[in-house]
Amino acid sequence: MDIWASGFFLDDCWIIACKILFFKNPSMQFAFKVTFVGVLLIAVLGDTFAQQSGALTSRSASARRSYQQATEAWGKKDFQNTVNFLQRALRADPRFLEAKLLLGEVYFSEEEFAKSIPHFLMAVQTDPLFFPQAQYFLARAYLRTGDYVNAKLHFEQLLQSRLVSARLLQSAQAGLVACIFAIHAQAHPVAFEPVNMGSAINTNLSEYSPALTVDEQTLIFTRKVPDVSPQGRGNRFQEDFFKSYFQQNAWEPNVPLGEPVNSWWNEGAQTITADGRQIIFASCNRPGGMGSCDLYSSSLSGMQWSQPENLGPVVNSSGWDSQPSLSSDGRTLFFTSNRAGGNGLMDIWFTTRPTVADAWTAPQNLGHTINTPYREMSPFIHADNHTLYFASDGHLGMGGLDLFVCRRDSANNWAVPVNLGYPLNTFADEFSLVVGAKGTQAFFASAREGGFGKNDLYMFALHEEVRPTTVTYLKGVVFDYETRNRIGARFHLINLKSGENIMESYSDTHTGEFLVALPTGMPLALNVEHAGYLFFSEHFSLEQSPEGAEPVLMNIALNPVKTGETVVMRNIFFDTGSHYLKPESVAELLRLFEFLSRNPKIRIEIGGHTDNVGTFEFNTTLSHNRARSVVNFLVDKGISANRLSYKGFADTKPIDTNNTEQGRANNRRTEFTLIP
């Protein structure tokens, strides 16, 4: 639908129009529109000449008869016959104003704006007073074809009219502002050089809706493929998922994602977790669905995807729910919906869950800062978890759906959206943008010339002003230290400044592989745990920079719970020369407390260690007191003192050299050892 066209309709006509809203390829393209039954001739002018043939401007009986047949066909949403009858009417009488206007409106509502222009233009030039509203539709058609100069001219002319409603004048004023914005944007283009992703990804079919893992090495996308289903639904095409891996600096030839995710039904508009082992997607008109399109989920274990499951009535509605985007921590899901209670025709909603193991809560509207009375669609939350990209035709843009970015502050408030600029945005509809975790590369689908098919996937360098915060990743395998068997372990990533658990994930139960997002610019504690094993502890503090931090590649060995095993707790902190625990230590201490609570028969010794700076006597006392501080914390939390002992070792048990700063830092540590 074209948003500006809603500005002047009578309320009843607007309600009728909304009721016949329908979608083209609903699970895929999500380009939708409203078909108005004689919008120009019926909704605006009523029955004046739509039903009273004597009032029509043509005296040709043949032309009037064809025109009447056209209005009947248009009432049935029969586009082709409507056009045929109107063309027949105009052959009989080329100056038949009503036929010209209706043909322009038919093309306009079908978003064939270039074809609508000559018909509206002829009507305006022939008799500008016959139907003054035609000036508005002419201006809108020019705007939607990128002819901003002519669009501006006709909006300005309409604004001088006293023959149209205040609502139409308000919409014309908005159109004029859009023209001024677009002309300025074209004069100040942003850097934009899209590169086709090549034959390994693109075909003579349509590819779109890209989704990337956090390491930007796995791509899952939607392709429109010939429908060979035995159900014989009559569709020429249906949608499936395909995947490709980035290896040796190139994308490998894509392959189908496979069953049971791919099916005879349409699957599209997917989002994936940071590690690519869960996919949430839209599918329409499936048996057992809640509405016209619902959200479904499937998980990967080893090499096998699970049977897709509907997210259920808490998330899905009786309306249209689609275009999901999952945050990198897996705890917030953004999506597009036309459900009741929204701000406009299409809104962005979100649902949350406390942990990835919990159920989703009731969705909430993202609010008036982002959602307008028109269309907000295709949300994409970047891996930094505070930069949101989306498409809108309600915010100031180039004419159709434009791409915008907005950022969330520490108080969880969204800033005013910013247009990504021309030529990334044009008079056409732009949507389905995703941005890699590094924040430098963006990916989108386009039907631009020079591609392999109708829609191809492209990538481009995102200009700096609209880039998100850089995110890197931690990648590796979890295994049993003794047997080398792979382990499906649980990961926690904690912001040491705030104590917030910013990520929870699991390694694959079959392969032990893990891939998690690592934010930059904050101190992070990593804990990895699995039943029957001692937990693993690590500390990260990655500098935030435009170039991004290097990824952390790490294989993690977990030691079975047995006497004599030792764990280095790398997130216990003290000031230099002090034995008082710093606040940043609490997260790690709580992890140790939980471990002891789950294993009530275990006894441990806390060991304090220093480097060789200072006297041995001072370091012995310091390490002893630091170990005692940890014990005191655990006792205060309720762990029996009989299960705890402590000892200070000073610098007698180094694990690294004391000749470098990094080595000395490694030697300054707190450990616990399982004792009889």
CA-to-CA dists, residue 97 to 58, 138, 141, angstroms: 8, 15, 18
Q: In the structure, what pLDDT confidence band is assigned to residue 604 with cuts at 50, 70 and 90?
A: very high
CA atoms of 570 and 589, how far apart (whole Å): 11
State residue 15's pLDDT score. 27
Provide the mean pLDDT of the chain. 88
Q: In the structure, what pLDDT confidence band is assigned to residue 31 with cuts at 50, 70 and 90?
A: very low
Q: In the structure, what pLDDT confidence band is assigned to residue 511 with cuts at 50, 70 and 90?
A: very high
237 residue type, one letter = F
Q: What residues contact 263, with CB distance under 8 A and at least 6 apart?
A: 308
pLDDT one-digit tens code per residue, 173-224: 999 999 999 999 999 999 999 999 999 999 999 999 999 999 999 999 999 9
Neighbouring C-beta atoms of residue 222, cutoff 10 Å: 30
Lowest-pLDDT range, 43-47, 58-62, 157-161? 43-47
CA atoms of 610 and 616, how far apart (whole Å): 10
CA atoms of 159 and 136, how far apart (whole Å): 9
State residue 449's pLDDT score. 79
Question: Is residue 425 pLDDT above 90, yes or no?
Answer: yes
Beta bridge partners of 495: 524
Question: Is residue 11 pLDDT above 80, yes or no?
Answer: no
To the question of domain 470-559 being in CATH 2.60.40.10, the answer is: yes
Q: Which residue has the tokens 């060789």?
A: 612
CATH architecture label of 195-466:
6 Propeller (2.120)
Q: Which residue has the tokens 């809104």?
A: 347
State residue 17's pLDDT score. 31
Question: Where exactly does CATH 2.120.10.30 map onto the chain?
Answer: 195-466
State residue 235's pLDDT score. 57
Tell me what the mean pLDDT of segment 230-238 comes to. 65
Question: Where exactly does CATH 3.30.1330.60 map onto the chain?
Answer: 561-676
Tell me what the mean pLDDT of segment 435-443 comes to. 95
Residue 39 φ then ψ, to 5°: -55, -50
Q: Looking at per-residue confidence, does 551 or 16 come out higher?
A: 551
CATH of domain 561-676: 3.30.1330.60
Q: Looking at per-residue confidence, does 4 or 258 come out higher?
A: 258
Question: Where exactly does CATH 2.60.40.10 map onto the chain?
Answer: 470-559
Question: Is residue 545 pLDDT above 70, yes or no?
Answer: no
CA atoms of 484 and 280, how far apart (whole Å): 33
With H, G, I as helix, E, B as strand and everything else as coil, classify residue 290: coil
CA atoms of 391 and 381, how far apart (whole Å): 12
647 residue type, one letter = K
Q: In the structure, what pLDDT confidence band is assigned to residue 24 with cuts at 50, 70 and 90?
A: very low
Question: Is residue 150 pLDDT above 60, yes or no?
Answer: yes
In a 10 Å sphere around its CB, with 0-12 CB exposed, 13-18 middle and 19+ buried, how is residue 465 labelled? exposed
Q: What residues contact 141, with CB distance under 8 A and at least 6 apart?
A: 104, 108, 113, 114, 116, 117, 120
State residue 547's pLDDT score. 67
Contact 8, 133 (CB under 8 A): yes
Q: In the structure, what pLDDT confidence band is assigned to residue 546 with cuts at 50, 70 and 90?
A: low
Neighbouring C-beta atoms of residue 11, cutoff 10 Å: 7
pLDDT one-digit tens code per residue, 374-403: 999 999 999 999 999 999 999 999 988 999
pLDDT one-digit tens code per residue, 103-132: 999 999 998 999 999 999 999 999 988 999
For 347-404, the DSSP string reads EEEEEE-SSTTSPPPPPEE--TTT--SSBEEEEEE-TTSSEEEEEESSSS-SSS-EEE
CA atoms of 213 and 279, how far apart (whole Å): 11
Tell me what the mean pLDDT of segment 273-300 comes to. 93
Question: Where exactly does CATH 1.25.40.10 map onto the chain?
Answer: 3-187
Q: What residues contact 413, with CB distance under 8 A and at least 6 apart?
A: 369
126: closest CA among 147, 96, 156? 96
Residue 506 φ then ψ, to 5°: -135, 145
Please list the helix, strand and coil fractions of the chain in percent, rounded to the nearest 5, in that order.
25, 30, 45
Q: What tokens appear for 552 in the block?
A: 């952390």
CA-to-CA dists, residue 29 to 283, 393, 405, 414, 653, angstroms: 12, 16, 21, 27, 63
Neighbouring C-beta atoms of residue 127, cutoff 10 Å: 14
Question: Is residue 623 pLDDT above 60, yes or no?
Answer: yes
Interhelix angle for 133-144 vs 148-159, to 10°? 160
State residue 147's pLDDT score. 97
7 residue type, one letter = G
212: closest CA among 270, 130, 259, 139? 270
pLDDT one-digit tens code per residue, 625-672: 999 999 999 999 999 999 999 999 999 999 999 999 999 999 999 999
Question: Is residue 500 pLDDT above 50, yes or no?
Answer: yes
Residue 103 φ then ψ, to 5°: -65, -40
Question: Is residue 96 pLDDT above 60, yes or no?
Answer: yes
Q: Which fold has domain 3-187?
A: 1.25.40
